[in-house]
């Protein structure tokens, strides 16, 4: 793992040098967004296994988006249910399963769309106690295999901005390695199908 | 000669983003460390002009690493900025008690970060 991480850091430095060489004063306004999106993409592209994939999702949600309460659900299409697979910062017993039949937002997510709370903190996307800020489908080979639920954002974060929405799209298209076992690892082509 | 900044975080994603922001906006030379213990070793080796350090890290957290640096003869005067998820008064007070000079909250905004570092290191 240490060897893999060393290689990853070396690659990261090389990529950053290349990006820095593309400096353009006109893009300074969107620099935060660019830096976050590049960092997220590179991190997800170099995921080594499922545990690392889940850690990458947590890092992106907590450090780049500003959400330290999240859960990943595996989709059971036959039962129209979502089973909790992994969580961070929430009580897992409270959110073990979500019923896709009863919730229109989940139905929409299962078609491949990302649903945001649109900055309205009084509007909750799921009928649960904690506020849900966004629900992101994880898409593998054009199918929704899992769903990321982003709960409450950090207090200093008032709403999703353009960069956050793009980060959610990156997660949707590239976080499949956190769910799919190594034997069915994605190819580069289908892991970025939505980008 | 370029000013040297030591970036400390256990998240490679965060290190990557911070380094990218600084490379595109400043002439600072960046070094990275993945926890408080590595940070102290790296700081002794490279003598950075500033340390930008996360608080929650394995082995040695940001508060503790900050205290160690302040007690170290070669590192005691280096400005330390802590990166926190929380900006509450008590939490910030703990940071200042550990010896940090400033703090910035997550998620990091590039303009805020660059302005803060410029205020310590100049452009």
CA A148 vs CA A85, A108, A116: distances in Å: 10, 14, 12
User: Residue A170 — very low, low, confident or very high, per pLDDT cuts 50/70/90?
Assistant: very high
* CA dihedral for A67, A69, A72, A73, sign (positive or negative): negative
ipTM confidence: 0.86
Sheet holding B29-33, edge to edge: B29-33, B4-8, B50-54, B80-84, B102-105
3-state secondary structure of A113: coil
pLDDT at residue A15, rounded to an integer: 61
What are A76's two structure tokens?
A: 């059971």
**CA–CA gap between residue B35 and residue B37 (Å, rounded):** 6
**CA–CA gap between residue B106 and residue B85 (Å, rounded):** 5
Host domain of residue B117: 4-121
pLDDT at residue A112, rounded to an integer: 94
What CATH number did the domain enclosing B65 receive? 3.40.50.2300
* Subunit contact B105:A43, Cβ cutoff 8 A: no
Lowest mean pLDDT across A20-24, A124-128, B83-87, B115-119: A20-24
Q: In this structure, which topology does domain A2-191 adopt according to CATH?
A: Beta-Lactamase (3.30.450)
Which tens digit of pLDDT belongs to each residue from A49-66?
A: 999 999 999 999 999 999
* Subunit contact B105:A39, Cβ cutoff 8 A: no
pLDDT at residue A187, rounded to an integer: 47
Lowest mean pLDDT across A79-83, A108-112, B10-14, B59-63: A79-83
The count of structural domains within chain B is 1
Domain segments of chain A as ranges = 2-191
Q: Which residues of A touch B12 (CB under 8 A)?
A: 5, 8-9, 12, 43, 59
Q: Which residues of B touch A152 (CB under 8 A)?
A: none
User: Residue A2 — very low, low, confident or very high, per pLDDT cuts 50/70/90?
Assistant: low
């Amino acid at each position: 793992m240490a060897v893999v991480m060393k290689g990853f850091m070396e690659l990261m430095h090389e990529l950053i040098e290349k990006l820095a060489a593309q400096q353009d004063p006109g893009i300074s306004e969107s620099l935060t967004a660019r830096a976050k999106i590049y960092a997220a993409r590179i991190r997800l592209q170099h995921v080594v296994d499922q545990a690392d994939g889940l850690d990458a999702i947590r890092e992106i949600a907590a450090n780049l988006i500003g959400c330290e309460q999240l859960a990943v659900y595996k989709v059971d299409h036959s039962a129209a249910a979502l089973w909790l697979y992994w969580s961070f910062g929430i009580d897992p017993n409270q959110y073990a399963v979500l019923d896709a039949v009863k919730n229109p937002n989940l139905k929409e997510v299962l078609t491949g769309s990302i649903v945001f709370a649109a900055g309205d903190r009084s509007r909750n996307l799921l009928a649960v106690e904690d506020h849900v800020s966004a629900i992101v489908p994880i898409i593998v080979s054009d199918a929704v295999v899992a769903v990321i639920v982003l709960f409450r954002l950090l207090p200093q974060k008032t709403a999703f901005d353009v960069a956050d929405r793009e980060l959610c799209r990156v997660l949707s298209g590239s976080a499949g390695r956190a769910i799919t076992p190594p034997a069915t690892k994605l190819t580069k082509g289908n892991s970025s199908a939505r980008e | 000669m370029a000013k040297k900044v030591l970036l400390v975080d256990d998240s490679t994603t965060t290190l990557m983003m911070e380094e990218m922001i600084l490379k595109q906006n400043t002439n600072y030379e960046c070094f990275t460390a993945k926890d408080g213990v590595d940070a102290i070793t790296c700081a002794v080796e490279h003598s950075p002009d500033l340390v930008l350090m996360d608080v929650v890290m394995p082995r040695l957290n940001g508060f503790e690493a900050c205290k160690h640096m302040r007690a170290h003869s070669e590192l005691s005067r280096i400005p330390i900025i802590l990166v926190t998820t929380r900006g509450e008064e008590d939490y910030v007070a703990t940071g200042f008690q550990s010896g940090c000079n400033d703090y910035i909250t997550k998620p990091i905004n590039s303009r805020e970060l660059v302005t803060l570092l410029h205020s310590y290191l100049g452009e």
